[in-house]
Amino acid sequence: MKNDHRARNHPAYWAFLVHRVSGVALTLFLPLHFWALGNALQGEARLESFLRWADQPLVKFAEWVLVLLLAAHMAGGVRLLMLEFLDWRDWQKTLLAGAAGVSIAVALLFLLNLT
């Protein structure tokens, strides 16, 4: 039982968890994205109504979270590819920190662009 607890405190476990959760969240977002694109095909009035709704602060915050999830998922995927195909197994913690740093930097750049 104690070994399970230690494994869950390891940075690799958290990277695994963030990668899986971000993937599921992005999968759930896709139907909403296609619905929004469908509104654009329904005419200018429908699209304008949707864009006014999307200009709310809570929706802008959700966009920021979405960009953070995208960046985290991409950085985690790149980290996994590097671990799989390159001989950098000893650098795992550095890659984890780099993936987290890139994700946060991308999300912050997006957030700065919103204001």
pLDDT one-digit tens code per residue, 100-113: 788 888 888 887 88
The predicted pLDDT at position 4 comes to: 64
Q: Is pLDDT of 37 > 60?
A: yes
Distance from first CA to last CA of the chain, Å, rounded? 47
Total count of domains within the chain: 1
Dihedral (CA of 67, 73, 76, 80) sign:
negative
CATH of the domain at 16: 1.20.1300.10
Cβ 61 vs Cβ 111: under 8 Å: no
pLDDT one-digit tens code per residue, 43-82: 888 888 888 988 999 998 888 888 888 888 888 888 788 7
* Degrees to nearest 5, angle at CA 80 with 76 and 85: 150
Domain of 10, in residue numbers: 2-114
The predicted pLDDT at position 111 comes to: 77
Q: What percentage of the chain has pLDDT greater than the value 90?
A: 12
pTM summary value: 0.65
